[in-house]
C-alpha cells in the first residue's frame, strides 16, 4: 500500500520558493497559490456564478495559502474570510493579505471546517469551497452549516473531485488517498444532501476534464524541476506526489473518478 505523502505542508510552507512558483505558473497559467484542480477558466467562472460584488461578504472553506481569496478581494472588492486547517497555509494567507494591503478586506483563520462554523446565522452573501469538502467527514452537517450562515438569497458553490464514475481498485483508491483523509461519493449523493439542506436553484457542472488537465500539467511541471523539489521535499515525498498526480490523471481521464461543481442558493 502507498505510504502517506505530504502535499499541503510542503506546498504552503514553500510558497515563496522559486521552484514551487514556477510549478504553479506552468500548471495553472497564473500563480494564485493553488493546490486544487481549478483551471484559470474555472477561477474566472466562480465569482460570476456567485454574483460577487463590492458589497459581498464571502466565506471560503479550505482557503489553502490564501492566493485565490485575495485575488477575488482585489479583483471584485468584496470582503472575505478564509478558513483552513493547515497552519502554514493560514500564516501565508495573512502575510500575503498584509503585503498586498488587503488586511482590512480579507482575513484568514486556522479552523477545522468539520466543526460548527464560527459565524452567526445569515452572515454571508456567498460561500465557496474549491476541492475541499471531499476531505471533510459529515457532508450533510457541513452543508447544513453553510445554509445556516448564508443570508436569504445567498449563493454557495463547491467542487468535489471524488465522485465515483467507474471501477476502482484498492491500490488506486489508496494512491488517490495518499495525501490525507478523503470521502468518495456515489453519483447523485451531493445533489441529495444539497436539497436536504434546504438549498434551491441547484446547478451541477461536470469539471472532470479540469482535474485531468491540471494533474497532467502539475506532474510534468514538477518532473522538470525534480532536482530542486527533491532537495526540499525529499525523494520519497517527491515520488509519492508524482504517483498521486499520475493516479488522478488516469482516473479522471478514464472518467472512473469524476469532478463536479455544485452551485445552489438559499431561498430569499
Ligand atoms: C485541494 S486543497 C484546495 C485548497 C484551495 N481551496 C485551492 O483552491 O488551492 C484542500 C484544502 O483543504 C484543507 N483542509 C483539509 N481538511 C480540512 C478541514 N478539516 N478543515 C479545513 N480545511 C481543511 C487543506 O488544508 C487544503 O488547503
**Cell representation of residue 82:** 478564509
Question: Which of 12, 20, 64, 157 has most ligand 1 atoms within 8 Å of CB, for mutation?
Answer: 64
Whole-angstrom Cα distance, residue 109 to residue 214? 27
Taking the centre of ligand 1 as the mean of its atom positions, its distance from the CA of residue 201, in whole angstroms, is 26
Instruction: Verify whether ligand 1 is closer than 6 Å to residue 145 (CB atom).
Output: no
Q: Please, where are the H alpha helices in 100-225?
A: 139-149, 170-176, 189-197, 208-224
Locate 200 and state its grid cell: 434551491
Give the number of the atom of ligand 1 that is nearest the alpha carbon of residue 34. 9
Q: Taking the CA of residue 6 as centre, how many other CA atoms within 13 Å lie in the half-sphere pointing to its CB?
A: 17
Pocket flag, ligand 1, residue 215 (CB < 6 Å): no
Query: Residue 2 — very low, low, confident or very high, per pLDDT cuts 50/70/90?
Result: low
Query: pLDDT value at position 1?
Result: 61
Mean pLDDT over all residues of the chain?
Answer: 97
Contact present, 140 and 115 (Cβ < 8 Å): no
Answer whether 89 contacts ligand 1 (Cβ < 6 A): yes
Angle at 24 between CA 83 and CA 250, to 5 degrees: 95
Q: What is the mean pLDDT of residues 51-77?
A: 98
Q: Within 100-151, where are the H helices?
A: 139-149
Nearest CA owner, ligand 1 atom 10 = 132
Confidence at 3, pLDDT banded by 50, 70, 90: confident
Please, which pLDDT band fits residue 214 given cuts at 50, 70 and 90?
Answer: very high
What is the reported pLDDT for 18? Answer: 97
Amino acid at each position: 500500500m502507498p505510504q502517506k505523502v505530504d502535499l499541503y505542508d510542503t506546498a504552503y510552507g514553500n510558497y515563496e520558493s522559486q521552484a514551487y512558483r514556477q510549478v504553479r505558473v506552468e500548471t495553472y497559467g497564473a500563480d494564485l497559490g493553488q493546490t486544487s484542480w481549478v483551471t484559470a477558466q474555472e477561477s474566472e467562472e466562480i465569482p460570476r456564478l456567485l454574483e460577487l460584488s463590492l458589497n459581498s461578504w464571502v466565506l471560503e472553506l479550505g482557503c489553502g495559502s490564501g492566493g485565490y481569496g485575495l485575488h477575488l478581494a482585489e479583483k471584485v472588492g468584496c470582503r472575505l474570510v478564509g478558513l483552513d486547517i493547515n497552519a502554514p497555509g493560514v500564516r501565508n494567507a495573512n502575510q500575503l493579505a498584509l503585503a498586498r494591503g488587503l488586511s482590512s478586506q480579507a482575513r484568514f483563520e486556522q479552523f477545522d471546517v468539520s466543526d460548527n462554523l464560527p459565524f452567526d446565522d445569515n452572515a454571508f452573501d456567498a460561500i465557496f469551497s474549491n476541492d475541499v469538502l471531499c476531505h471533510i467527514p459529515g457532508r450533510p452537517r457541513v452543508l447544513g452549516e453553510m445554509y445556516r450562515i448564508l443570508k436569504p438569497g445567498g449563493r454557495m458553490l463547491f467542487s468535489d473531485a471524488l465522485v465515483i464514475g467507474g471501477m476502482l481498485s484498492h491500490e488506486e483508491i489508496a494512491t488517490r488517498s495518499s495525501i490525507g483523509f478523503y470521502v468518495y461519493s456515489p453519483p447523485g449523493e451531493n445533489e441529495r444532501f444539497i436539497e436536504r439542506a434546504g438549498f434551491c436553484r441547484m446547478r451541477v457542472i461536470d469539471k472532470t476534464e479540469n482535474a485531468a488537465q491540471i494533474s497532467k500539467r502539475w506532474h510534468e511541471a514538477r518532473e522538470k524541476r525534480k532536482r530542486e523539489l527533491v532537495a526540499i521535499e525529499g525523494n520519497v515525498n517527491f515520488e509519492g506526489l508524482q504517483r498521486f498526480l499520475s493516479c488522478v490523471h488516469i482516473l479522471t481521464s478514464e472518467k472512473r473518478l469524476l469532478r463536479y461543481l455544485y452551485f445552489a442558493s438559499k431561498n430569499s
